[in-house]
Structure 1
Amino acid sequence: MRKISRALGAALILGALAGFASAAPAIQVLGRDFSFPNALPGMPQRLSDFPGLQINAFTTNDGVKLSYWEAGKGQPLIFIPGWSANGAQYVNVMYLLAQRYRVIVLDPRNQGLSQKVDFGNRIARHSMDVRELGQHLGLQSAAYVGHSMGAAILWSYIDLFGTAAMSKVAFVDEPISIYAHADWSEQERRDAGGTTTSPERMVAAFTAGGPVNALTTDLKVFERSQRMDSPHYQNSESFAAAFIKNDPVALGRVLFNHTVNDWRDVVRHKINIPAAIFSGEESYNLPSQRWAQSVVPGTLLFSYTSAEQGDHFLMFKNPLKFTQDLSSFLER
């Protein structure tokens, strides 16, 4: 009964938040405290050790209630998570950056604590959601960071709305085109980051446990996501698993559209503000990130070594280095 009451209370709080766009402490929204499995120097041992963390919500112009996580004061810094990801996984990153910035992490539609809907499941609509988040927050300008699919959402945002409301932008390890066209040369495939020639099989592998091989998708993402080789990653993944219940059907709704977009024209022609890219030796995306750096003048590329956890999840596995590098870019 206590579990049911807590769940119902959390649902009621989230509904109130979405309706009235007010703020509530994360521990109140989630319904309980949480103890992280690893006690790490300078990091919270319990959720209650991060008292400034809030979970808020707003309603988009197509009627979808989106949650976002917020902490800190100062210049606004907005994170857009990747496919299937959520604000809970950013708890370490937020804790470190909230000491200097007003940090906001959006739960995209169908992800995290945001509403599950069967409409608007396109990258373009996701970028509109990001625009409406900025308007909801009353931001004239903010720095934006997109991880994985979140980077594609920001490329769509830039394509549709330009960069007037962006001060700086960072992209974390996202292929420029996941779909590898049959008429590309090998160099074109590497530059774009193409990893599949069958979007349908890739979607099935990620959402329904379909058969997977190296021709279907990037197997290293699967392998590295399961490798709990960082105590920070263990903490954030455990926290997310305790409170976020993913719906594979809902998550899958945007994945095909995400897979088949080719953003090379946006990267080549429309990024006209200071930009940074993060990748590493343990990611098959590194060649495409180097291509992106080569076509966007002045872009910084932070390439992490294997010892520095330089894979697709580098920001969660090595949040100390990531937040230091990101801050150095933002303060330039």
Structure 2
Amino acid sequence: MALMKLEDGVELYYEDVGMGSPIIFIHGVWMSSRFFKKQLPYFRQKYRAISLDLRGHGQSTHSDSGHTVATYAKDLRQFIQKLDLRDVTLVGWSMGAFVIWEYIHQFGEEGLKGTVIVDELASDFKWPDFEIGAFDLPALTGMMQQIQTDQRGLLKGFLPLMFKDEVPDEELEWMLEETTKLPASIASAILFDQSIVDCRPYLNEISIPTLLCFGKEEKLIPIAAGEHLNKEIPHSKLEIFTNSCHCPFLEEPERFNKVVEEFVRSLS
């Protein structure tokens, strides 16, 4: 466990365990590195497994500014450079996928070996030509308003939607604790930005191998999102997790870890 200071003074909390080829786990909006608690102990046995809290999230600095996917990608760039990481596999869950795609769009693929995308759309917004988007404007503004008036209540309703099966109260409690670490100002700012990001124009620029991991239960993200990405991203493979919704790494951790390990091994 450590803190890394970026050029603008923001400190990123991260965990860095094991040795070997580096794998970086990047969480979703409002979440934290703690959600990968079932991955680091597994991957540290053969790889250098790293998870970080993006700015404003978890135990990283709750900075007043910089809460855009583009800035998070710049933070990731500094993070990789400061640790002098090479041949990196990036694992991005939900918003973490946008951070990866924005990173590749800004900085290219040098130093990257492959990417793993977990349950995300090319854009969360229902654009006129993208009907499978998660949010239309009324839904997005409604969520932003609720963050400002009842952030905890919103999360109590949202977190169970990430799972296929009912989650025990003690599990939901630590998730609620993590996701309420963000001030409402940060939570609404990054929700808006990540919801209107549209990565469709540059998905076909990705040339490194991509593993797409999607839960079959469609409470939040449809399987059609994975099929769309599989069609648009060259050298991609779609893996469906039948007993999962938005969090296959928590819902089916043994299978998820093995599938990702096989993918990473294939990159060597």
The TM-score with structure 2 as length reference comes to 0.87
Q: Which residue of 1 aligns with 2:208?
A: 273
Give how far 1:157 is off.
Answer: 0.4
Q: Which residue of 2 aligns with 1:295?
A: 232
Is the contact between residue 12 and residue 52 of structure 2 (CA under 8 Å) also seen in structure 1? yes
Distance across 2 between alignment mates of 1:79 and 1:128: 16
Is the contact between residue 163 and residue 245 of structure 2 (CA under 8 Å) also seen in structure 1? no
**Aligned partner (choices 80, 97, 112) of residue 58 of structure 2:** 112
Q: Which residue of 2 aligns with 1:86?
A: 32
Is the contact between residue 208 and residue 235 of structure 2 (CA under 8 Å) also seen in structure 1? no
Matching of residues 123-272 of structure 1 within 5 Å: 123-181=69-127, 183-184=128-129, 188-190=130-132, 193-198=133-138, 199-206=140-147, 208-209=149-150, 222-225=159-162, 229=166, 246-249=181-184, 250-267=186-203, 269-272=204-207
Is the contact between residue 230 and residue 317 of structure 1 (CA under 8 Å) also seen in structure 2? no
Change (3 A) 1:222 1:90: closer
Offset from partner CA, 1:188-214 (integer Å, 9 cap, x none): 312xx343233322323456448x9xx
The secondary structure found in structure 2 opposite 1:293 is helix
Is the contact between residue 76 and residue 143 of structure 1 (CA under 8 Å) also seen in structure 2? yes
**Aligned partner (choices 294, 305, 324) of residue 258 of structure 2:** 324
Structure 1: stretches of 5+ with no match in the other structure = 1-54, 213-219
Structure 2: stretches of 5+ with no match in the other structure = none
Give how far 1:234 is off.
Answer: 5.9
Bigger shift: residues 105-114 or 247-256: 247-256
Change (3 A) 1:242 1:117: closer
Give how far 1:57 is off.
Answer: 1.2
Distance across 2 between alignment mates of 1:207 and 1:145: 30
Is the contact between residue 23 and residue 49 of structure 2 (CA under 8 Å) also seen in structure 1? yes
Is the contact between residue 276 and residue 301 of structure 1 (CA under 8 Å) also seen in structure 2? yes
Change (3 A) 1:276 1:234: farther
Indicate the RMSD between aligned Cα atoms, in angstroms.
Answer: 2.6
Which amino acid letter does the alignment assign opposite residue 303 of structure 1? I
Which amino acid letter does the alignment assign opposite residue 279 of structure 1? F
Distance across 2 between alignment mates of 1:227 and 1:297: 30
Distance across 1 between alignment mates of 2:178 and 2:227: 36
Is the contact between residue 160 and residue 166 of structure 2 (CA under 8 Å) also seen in structure 1? no
Give how far 1:65 is off.
Answer: 0.7
The secondary structure found in structure 1 opposite 2:206 is coil
- Identity of matched residues, %: 25
Is the contact between residue 230 and residue 318 of structure 1 (CA under 8 Å) also seen in structure 2? no
Matching of residues 42-121 of structure 1 within 5 Å: 55-121=1-67
Distance across 2 between alignment mates of 1:67 and 1:320: 26
Give how far 1:304 is off.
Answer: 1.0
The TM-score with structure 1 as length reference comes to 0.71
Number of residue equivalences = 259
Distance across 2 between alignment mates of 1:227 and 1:323: 18
Higher Rg of the two aligned structures: 1
Which amino acid letter does the alignment assign opposite residue 102 of structure 2? S
Distance across 1 between alignment mates of 2:177 and 2:196: 32
Distance across 2 between alignment mates of 1:207 and 1:131: 31
Distance across 2 between alignment mates of 1:209 and 1:264: 33
**Bigger relative contact order, structure 1 or 2 (CA pairs below 8 A, ≥6 apart):** 2
Bigger shift: residues 144-153 or 196-205: 196-205
Which amino acid letter does the alignment assign opposite residue 201 of structure 1? G
